[in-house]
Structure 1
Amino acid sequence: MDRRVEVLASLQGVHKRYGAVLALDGIDLELRAGQVLALLGPNGAGKTTAIGLLMGLLRADTGRVLLFGQDPQQVRARRGIGVMLQSAALPDTLRVAELIRLSASYYPAPRSLAETAALAGVEDLLKRRYGQLSGGQQRRVQFALAVCGRPALLFLDEPSVGLDLAARQQLWATVRALVAEGTSVVLTTHYLEEAECLADRVCVMLRGRIISDGSVDALRARVGHRSIRCVSALDVATVAAWPGVVQASRDGAWLQLRSDRVEAVVRQLLQADAALCGLEVQPPGLGEAFTDLTADAAHSQREAA
């Protein structure tokens, strides 16, 4: 780890328990300037608890939590963050412009109403009451409230939930633009495509522990197989029995394989089917890497219990 990179927030040896449930089991996590960190994990992994501690919404049972070098519950520290939670209770009767102005008033140097509305794509909603908006429109407004204060650190909790494809892509483009301006981002998402698109660092959690922390490419590299796809009439069951083939399936004319001995399997495919075409070899996606990693870690944890 490069200690010269500014640490904006951290969890240091943090434990958090809810009754008999251990939500965080002594984790260490640093959020560094200039990064988009995707915090991934299955439900109950501890992601929401970790974010709640960093934002000052929860207190750790043991360990230390810092936000800009301060207690996260200090107002001065909180003024450096913007937050878009998975669910938000906002006054239905207020107009969108009123909500943005109200949120902006808590920050020392907020964006103007016009700039905020343009960033979040809500210019056409400013005069409408929040309660009259669709779920997707409300999510765009929540994003506007998160960025209106020019936060140094932006927390996005499942930001794409409820958004259509066009709105999701617009959100991603805006996040990339904010990062280019110097904003750091913590992202929790179940859309692995979103993490793959935005994050330069991925932290995977399972049962209150961090089981992987590194780049997207580093996480992919932990998977020992790649995908092979081709148009072939070969029998799936026959190919599945070949050495080096982990999984085989068919999608119409397409034969789809997962292999841990790609070169050997490709040679055998070409020898077995002279009419084979459309051959593609792809590295594992983030989804495959995440699934394999969490499955292996869960198995190891059960063995150790």
Structure 2
Amino acid sequence: MPDGQAVVARLRGASKRYGGTQALDGLDLSLHAGQVTSLLGANGAGKSTAVNLLLGLLAADAGEVSVFGRPPSSRAARLGTGAMLQSAGIPDRLRVGEVLALVRSYYRDPRSVADCVALAGLDGLLERPYRHLSGGQQRRVQFALAICGRPRLLCLDEPTTGLDIEARQGIWRAVRELVAGGSAVLLTTHYLEEAEALADHVAVIDRGRMLAQGSVAAIRAHVAQRRIRCVSVLDADAVARWPGVRQAERDGELLRIVADVAEPVVRRLLAADDRLHDLEVQRAGLADAFLELTRTPQQEAA
């Protein structure tokens, strides 16, 4: 971890059970100032439970949970933390400006209304009743409420669900600005391209246990496969049977290949089709690594 990136929040050996279900099982996770940590896992992996422990909404059955070195339920921890969860509970009869003014009043030095509007993309919405907003607009209001107190720790649980591409990219820009100002951000998302675009650190969990964590590059390194794309007349089924090829499929004039090692496959492609062009080779992405890490023994045997 680079010098100067202080630990803002930590789960240490955290466990939580709901009846017969072990939601978290000895999870260790540290969140650092000036860094986005993306917590990835399938539904039921324990992501929301981890977020709720850090917010003081749940108590761990075992292990330690701290925010700014204090219990997450303490006043100091709560005032320094912002959260955007999957459910909001906002009074829907209030106007957006009224909701924002109410939440800003909880803090000693809140972010200005103008800054909240700019960061969350709320232009033209302050006079609108919350209940009359679209789902995407409501998510942007929820983001504004999460950041209005200048949080040192920001927890974002699936923040861009329901947003169009432009609004999603606006949230991404705002997150980068907050991180540049020293905030620690915990991001859970099912959009792997979102984690790849934003995260400095990635943690992959499954059934409450840590499977792998590190930089995006370190997580991607768990999968050595390469993706090859080209315009070719070669038969995809025939290419799929070549040594080292895991998958080959046709997408119009494009031939898409997943290979263990790119070089021998590329050489054979060029030898087999002298009209081949628009050749591209890419390493496996975060989504490929995530699927590989979370693959069950039954899936591996299939």
Q: In the alignment, what sits opposite 2:278? A: 278
Q: 1: CA distance between counterparts of 2:116 and 2:253?
A: 49
Q: In the alignment, what sits opposite 1:61? A: 61
How large is the Cα RMSD of the aligned pairs?
A: 1.7
Runs of 4+ in 1 over 4 A off after TM superposition: 1-4, 300-303
Instruction: Give per-residue Cα distances to partners, 1:178-236, cap 9 Å, x unaligned.
Output: 11122221100001111111111110010110101101111111102100111111111
TM-score, normalised by the number of residues in structure 2: 0.96
1:34 is the counterpart of 2:28: no
Inter-CA distance 233–199: structure 2 relative to 1 (3 Å threshold): same
**1:229-244 paired onto structure 2 within 5 Å:** 229-244=229-244
Query: What is the CA distance between 1:139 and its match in structure 2?
Result: 0.6
Count of paired positions = 301
Q: CA contact under 8 A between 2:230 and 2:280: conserved in structure 1?
A: yes
Q: 1: CA distance between counterparts of 2:298 and 2:3?
A: 31
Identity %: 59
Q: In the alignment, what sits opposite 1:299? A: 297
SS in 1 for 2:124: helix
What residue identity is the alignment partner of 1:72? P
Instruction: Give per-residue Cα distances to partners, 1:221-274, cap 9 Å, x unaligned.
Output: 110210011111111121111111111111111111111121111111111111
SS in 2 for 1:82: strand
TM-score, normalised by the number of residues in structure 1: 0.95
Query: What is the CA distance between 1:299 and its match in structure 2?
Result: 2.1
What residue identity is the alignment partner of 2:40? L
Q: 1: CA distance between counterparts of 2:246 and 2:300?
A: 24
What residue identity is the alignment partner of 2:170? Q
Q: In the alignment, what sits opposite 1:263? A: 263
Q: Which runs of 5+ in 2 are unaligned?
A: none
Inter-CA distance 235–224: structure 2 relative to 1 (3 Å threshold): same
Q: CA contact under 8 A between 1:37 and 1:203: conserved in structure 2?
A: yes
SS in 2 for 1:122: coil
Q: 1: CA distance between counterparts of 2:279 and 2:120?
A: 41
Query: What is the CA distance between 1:300 and its match in structure 2?
Result: 9.1
Q: CA contact under 8 A between 1:114 and 1:123: conserved in structure 2?
A: no
Q: 2: CA distance between counterparts of 1:300 and 1:153?
A: 38
Instruction: Give per-residue Cα distances to partners, 1:1-38, cap 9 Å, x unaligned.
Output: 56863111111111100000000111111111111000
